[in-house]
Amino acid sequence: MISTTAATEPGERRQCWECRRRRLVCDSSRPACNKCLAAGTECPGYGSKKPLKWITPGTVKSRNRGRPPGSGKGSTSAAKTKSMSKSPQVDNASISVGSSLSAESSPTTNCPDGAIDRLIQEAEAALQSEQDPLNPVTFLKSLGLETNDFFQSVLYFNDCIYPDLAVMHELVPNPYLAPIPMMAFRDTSSSVRHTICYLTLGHRIQQLAWQLDEAALVEERSRLYHHRGEAMRALSEDISNDRSQCTDTTILSVLMFLFADVRQFAAPYWRYHLTGATQLILLRGGLKKLVRTSAMLRPSLLYFMIIGVMGNTTSSASDQIPATSNLDLIDLMAEAYGEGLFPVLFCPPTLLLDIIRINHLRMQGSTNPTDEILQTSAYTLLEQIQSFSPEQWTVTSAAPPR
């Protein structure tokens, strides 16, 4: 195993070429950065010039190409072309979501008749073009604005976000953790597409905020709020439609938007989305029924429960979210945790269930703080938590050897 030294001093830090490509913050370790080692890739180093990389002959064609004839639609304005020319150079395998869109961009919110067909036709036309379809820049330039932005976000997620998540498979294989298929726009609603753009832009801003000047940062945030607003508009239309009000797709869209807002904002906007999602779930028969009948929603519903439980721990005792402080949630949470769903919350199930009990006691105590039964229950719960053995739990929960 190759050993690396500690990271260099802040004034000497340099990004290795692989971390630059993946839009990551390099730890600048020598002779190779630890992020490359963790990803199982060879670190190309910190030289002043990007090292040459062998590419199999025939897989890459000349990039010196113009726009395909007939592609000068209204969706590709002069502002769009100018912003694409300002984008950083990308290699053949990835492209950043940072390519700016025109400020006048106004993607559709709900998919009207023929909208999906139009998106598919744009993608098929780009793939059948005489331009090199394997070159992401050429491919994206052939698309309309809405499709372009979605494809950029998918490429960014697969190239810059998923590699950091993939290491979780080493703990427990997770079938729900995978790259986003490039043709996912066939089956996703407008609200989901905008939420994916919103999520990836938020990640990009957090990763690169210290490298961007104020003007670039304002532009990126403007794009983020644009997609957030479009996602909310599309969700509003879906929920106001009796046919799509509480379908799996609509509930999934609300949950995805909830997850994005939890990650992006310190303000408690997430409570509004969680309350709204709770009402939609009740229209489908309640949380317990939906978890057991909808395989597509089950992983997202587990995160929904976790956000509600952990959110209640930092909320006022008199302002708890009842749906995630109810003791009925304990059996359901234990069941969901036991189905191989391994969330990004390294908390033993036993302690997570105790957190639900704590929230429930806090909610009851806010209305009757002198109740002796509640005080006795609190002491009993405290003793139970103190008796928990991390070592014993680690032994009993160890995954079998592969």
DSSP string of 56-97, one letter each residue:
-TTS-------PPTT---TTS-HHHHHHHHHSPP--TT---T
pLDDT band for position 366 (50/70/90)? confident
Q: What is the value of pTM for the model shown? A: 0.62
Please give the single-letter amino acid code of residue 45.
Answer: G
E strand or H helix that includes residue 233: helix 214-240
Average pLDDT (84-104) is 28
pLDDT for res 327: 82
Q: What is the pLDDT of residue 210?
A: 79
∠ CA 268-271-277, nearest 5°, is 150
Rounded distance between C-alpha atoms, residue 55 and residue 190, angstroms: 37
Contact 250, 277 (CB under 8 A): no
Mean pLDDT of all residues in 110-133: 49
d(CA 93, CA 136): 8
DSSP state of 322: G
Please give the average per-residue pLDDT across 300-329, as a whole number: 85
Strands, E, within 254-299: which ranges?
none
Among 13-27, 75-89, 288-302, name the most confident range. Answer: 288-302
Average pLDDT score, the chain: 73
User: What are the tokens at 267?
Assistant: 């303000």
What would the pLDDT profile of 204-244 be if each residue is shown by its tens digit? 888 887 787 888 888 888 888 989 999 999 999 999 999 98
- Summarize pLDDT for 149-196 with one digit per residue, the tens: 888 888 888 888 888 888 877 776 777 778 888 777 777 888 888 999
Residue 285 has pLDDT above 50, yes or no: yes
Candidate CATH numbers 2.40.50, 4.10.320, 2.40.128, 4.10.240; the one for domain 1-50: 4.10.240
Higher pLDDT, 258 or 369: 258
Contacts 24+ apart (CB under 8 A), 136-140: 136/90, 136/92, 136/94, 136/95, 137/63, 137/84, 137/90, 137/95, 138/63, 138/65, 140/95, 140/99
pLDDT of 118 reads: 55
Higher pLDDT, 97 or 199: 199
Lowest model confidence (mean pLDDT) among 68-72, 93-97, 258-262, 341-345 = 93-97
pLDDT for residue 20 is more than 70:
yes
Residue 387 is classified by DSSP as T
All CATH 4.10.240 domain ranges in the chain, comma separated: 1-50
What CA–CA distance (Å, rounded) separates 137 from 66?
11
99, pLDDT greater than 60: no
**CA-wise closest residue to 100 among 226, 264, 261, 230:** 226
Whether the CB-CB separation of 21 and 35 falls below 8 Å is answered with no
